[in-house]
Amino acid sequence: MINNKTKYTELIKTEAKRLGFLSCGISKAEFLEEEAPRLEAWLNKNMQGEMRYMENHFDKRLDPTLLVEDSKSVVSLLLNYYPSQEQTGESYKLSKYAYGTDYHFVIKDKLKELLHVINEEIGEVNGRAFVDSAPVLDKAWAAKSGLGWIGKHSNLLSQKTGSFYFIAELIIDLELDYDAPTTDHCGTCTACIDACPTEAITEPYVVDGSKCISYFTIELKENIPSGFKGKFDDWMFGCDVCQDVCPWNRFSKPHNEPLFNPHPELLSMTKKDWEEITEDTFRQVFKKSAVKRTKFSGLQRNIKFLKD
């Protein structure tokens, strides 16, 4: 006879699949003992740069029971964003995750529906949905629940699907069957370390956030340091270099989420188009996009930095 724990676990995983998630793994909501010293060391070396929010809520980042009272399980979910078409020709580049509608909206809706189904089918379950907007160590939880391992470029990697996906969680006060972590399959490969244009991967599994092109083009509000001139490889928003060169991304398959499809104009825009972009065009092309995070002025700054 199947016990309730197993029944509920299967229900959640089946629903996650129905909602279009790539995979779903579950781990026990408990203090992340291994992550604590790593996070502390990373912050002590100021690798967060101007991302001061990374210094806040240190305990909450490591202990989900401080985010959701009496939480028992962390349900980790992956949503594929690998596009069927990419930017071509001579153009300034933006990270593939930002081609379509801002993932926060897309995933939040799916998580709300999943939580709704859990409450409908199981009874009252308290929990919260998290999409990269609260102090949750997404990659650590996904790895703990067997969805992949954290690669040398510090992204989550799966043998079946590479790394082009978003990670989200439901933290709930329901005990479930827990998955076991998988093993590391980076081996002796150093492709990501060798390819990083700004040498932000300082050693295997350690990324200096304050040197990353994604940090400079999205998070940094001040001027980009002139010492990085000529090192951005034409990236104007984010950067995919460490993922593009990773051998495991040979197995990436295009997503089937219509909301992640790019605005028709986006893929055909040339460098000249970007240099002459108006605020109206920016608003039109990036209507509900994650690119809005850097604002029109930020994108202009990034393009000027690449052009000059």
- Kindly give the confidence (pLDDT) of every residue in the chain, 308 residues in length, as a single tens digit, with 9 standing for 90 and above: 567 999 999 999 999 999 999 999 999 999 999 888 888 888 888 878 777 777 777 888 899 999 999 999 999 999 999 999 998 878 999 999 999 999 999 999 999 999 999 999 999 999 999 998 788 999 999 999 999 999 999 999 999 999 999 999 999 999 999 999 999 999 999 999 999 999 999 999 999 999 999 999 999 999 999 999 999 999 999 999 999 999 999 999 999 999 999 988 899 999 999 999 999 999 999 989 999 999 999 999 999 999 98
pTM of the model as a whole: 0.94
Question: Residue 273 catalytic?
Answer: no
- pLDDT at residue 97 in the model: 97
Among candidate residues 70, 109, 132, 138, the one labeled active-site is 132
Q: According to DSSP H, which parts of the chain are helical?
A: 4-18, 35-44, 58-62, 103-122, 138-144, 191-195, 213-214, 241-244, 271-275, 279-285, 295-307
Residues 6+ apart with CB under 8 A from 141: 27, 32, 64, 74, 76, 167, 169
Furthest CA-CA distance within the chain: 69
Phi, psi values for residue 27, rounded to 5°: -135, 160
- pLDDT at residue 49 in the model: 76
- pLDDT at residue 53 in the model: 73
State which H helix or E strand residue 207 sits in.
strand 206-207
Tokens of 33: 């003992």
Helix (H, G, I), strand (E, B) or coil at 227: helix
- pLDDT at residue 2 in the model: 65
- For residues 246 and 192, give the distance between their C-alpha atoms in angstroms, rounded to a whole number: 6
- pLDDT at residue 152 in the model: 98
- pLDDT at residue 231 in the model: 97
Phi, psi values for residue 129, rounded to 5°: -100, 140
The DSSP output letter for 105 is H
- pLDDT at residue 88 in the model: 80
- For residues 88 and 110, give the distance between their C-alpha atoms in angstroms, rounded to a whole number: 31
- pLDDT at residue 27 in the model: 98
